[in-house]
Amino acid sequence: MTAIISEEQVKKLREANVAVPDVNETCIWCSACVAISPDVFELNDEWLSEVTLRDNYEGCDVDDAIAACPVDAISWNA
């Protein structure tokens, strides 16, 4: 069972120098990021992709998801 990361969890990970991806509200729910990086991205019921809680996001193809996003909604910085 995966969980969507909370703002507080993002803050804690970033304080520990863990790079955490962010999806902004320009997401058009195309699901490309979920197809490329299913361990990190999840589509919610509000037409947005969200980031799941993990210890780190290395080796999860996040850079490929960033490159594939048609609206540049994903970044490593909120």
- Judged by the rule CB under 6 A, the positions of this chain that interact with ligand SF4 are 23, 27-33, 41, 49, 68-71, 73-74
- Contact between 74 and 66 (Cβ < 8 Å): yes
Name which of 13 and 32 has its Cβ closer to ligand SF4.
Answer: 32
Handedness of CA 10, 13, 15, 18 (dihedral sign): negative
Least Å from the CB of residue 36 to ligand SF4:
8
Name which of 16 and 28 has its Cβ closer to ligand SF4.
Answer: 28
Rounded CA separation 52/60 (Å): 12
Handedness of CA 52, 57, 59, 64 (dihedral sign): positive
Least Å from the CB of residue 10 to ligand SF4:
16
